[in-house]
């Protein structure tokens, strides 16, 4: 049974480049969450979708960050342009209808040089 | 709004020692409470949960009891192993849709 799938697992890029992180939620789940984890700030919720619609993006740090969910099985988090302070592990999580339990993906470790 | 406070780490224990990681919460209504565990290099995994007052969640030797009177959900294990070394997150939800409110995490290191 496939869990939440994220790609790539590791990304190293240079400052100013565009970065796209991808997530495939568990089939049948209708909520999707993007988190960022750093040593300094811990786990932060960036944005979450319900039925493909962005519900709360108050955690998105600034306009350089954008997220989309074109269908129930795919979401992207884009950073353009990237900066060294964006270096972190980005997690995607999904949850089924009527349940607060979240299932996390393995994360994407992003390093911006 | 909802909030979760958990003890700061790192917590360092010897193998077979007793573990307690404290977690207290503030919330409106009747939230569910969760403990998630994050092993090095991995995403968070649900360890245990409790959905109403006095419920006890348990898994892999870990236990936590939902105490409404003290607004607490402390994590305990009678005898830790080196393989329990991880970061443990207390969380409550739902809050606004299916959002979870996470604590800051407590790192546990178990040594031989």
Residue B17, pLDDT above cutoff 70: yes
- Assess A108–B contact: CB distance below 8 Å, yes or no: no
Per residue in B50-84, pLDDT tens? Answer: 999 999 999 999 999 999 999 999 999 999 999 99
Query: Which among A4, A33, A101 is the nearest to B46, CB-wise?
Result: A101
Q: How many angstroms separate the first and last alpha carbons of chain B?
A: 41
Q: Record the tokens describing residue A90, joined without a space.
A: 């980005």
User: Is there a contact between B85 and B67 (Cβ–Cβ < 8 Å)?
Assistant: no
Which positions in chain B touch A100 (Cβ < 8 Å)? 32, 34, 93-94, 98-100
Q: Which residues pair with A42 in a beta bridge?
A: A38
Question: In this predicted structure, what is the pLDDT of residue B97?
Answer: 66
Instruction: Answer yes or no: do A50 and B32 touch at CB < 8 A.
Output: no
- For all residues of chain B together, what is the average pLDDT? 93
pLDDT mean values, one per 10 residues, chain A (113 residues): 92 97 96 94 93 91 94 96 97 92 96 97
pLDDT at B4 over 70: yes
Q: What is the mean pLDDT of residues B15-36?
A: 94
Say if residue B36 is preceded by a cis peptide, omega within 30 of 0: no
Q: How confident is the model at residue B99 (pLDDT cuts 50, 70, 90)?
A: confident
Predicted pLDDT of residue B50: 95
Per-residue tokens: A66: 């954008």
Indicate if the alpha-carbon torsion angle B27, B32, B33, B37 is positive or negative.
negative
φ and ψ at residue B83, rounded to 5 degrees? -70, -10
pLDDT value of position B91: 95
Is pLDDT of B96 > 70? no
Residue B92 pLDDT more than 90? yes
Residues 34-73 of chain A with CB under 8 A from chain B are 42-43, 45, 48, 50, 55-56
Q: Do A105 and B43 touch (CB under 8 A)?
A: yes
Q: Is B3 on the interface with A (CB under 8 A)?
A: no
Sequential DSSP letters for B2-39? -EEEE--S-EEEETT--EEE-EEEE-SS--EEEEEEE-
d(CA A64, CA A20): 12
All residues of chain B having their beta carbon less than 8 Å from the beta carbon of residue A25 are none
Q: How confident is the model at residue B95 (pLDDT cuts 50, 70, 90)?
A: low
């Amino acid at each position: 049974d496939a869990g939440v799938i994220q790609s790539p697992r590791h990304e190293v890029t240079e400052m100013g480049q565009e970065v796209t992180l991808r997530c495939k939620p568990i089939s049948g789940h209708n909520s999707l969450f993007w988190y960022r984890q750093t040593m300094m700030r811990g786990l932060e919720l960036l944005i979450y979708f319900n039925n493909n619609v962005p519900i709360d993006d108050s955690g998105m740090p600034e306009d350089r960050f954008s997220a989309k969910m074109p269908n129930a099985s795919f979401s992207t988090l884009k950073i353009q342009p990237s900066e060294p302070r964006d270096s972190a592990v980005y997690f995607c999580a999904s949850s089924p209808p009527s349940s607060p339990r979240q299932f996390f993906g393995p994360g994407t470790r992003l390093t911006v040089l | 709004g909802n909030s979760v406070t958990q003890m700061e780490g790192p917590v360092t224990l010897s193998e077979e020692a007793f573990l307690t990681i404290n977690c207290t919460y503030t919330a409106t209504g009747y939230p569910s409470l969760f403990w998630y565990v994050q092993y090095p290099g991995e995403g968070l995994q649900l360890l245990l949960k409790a959905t109403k007052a006095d419920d006890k969640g348990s898994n892999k030797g870990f236990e936590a009891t939902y105490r409404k009177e003290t607004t607490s959900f402390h994590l305990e294990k009678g005898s830790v192993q080196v393989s329990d070394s991880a970061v443990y997150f207390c969380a409550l939800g739902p809050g606004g849709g299916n959002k979870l409110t996470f604590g800051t995490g407590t790192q546990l290191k178990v040594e031989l």
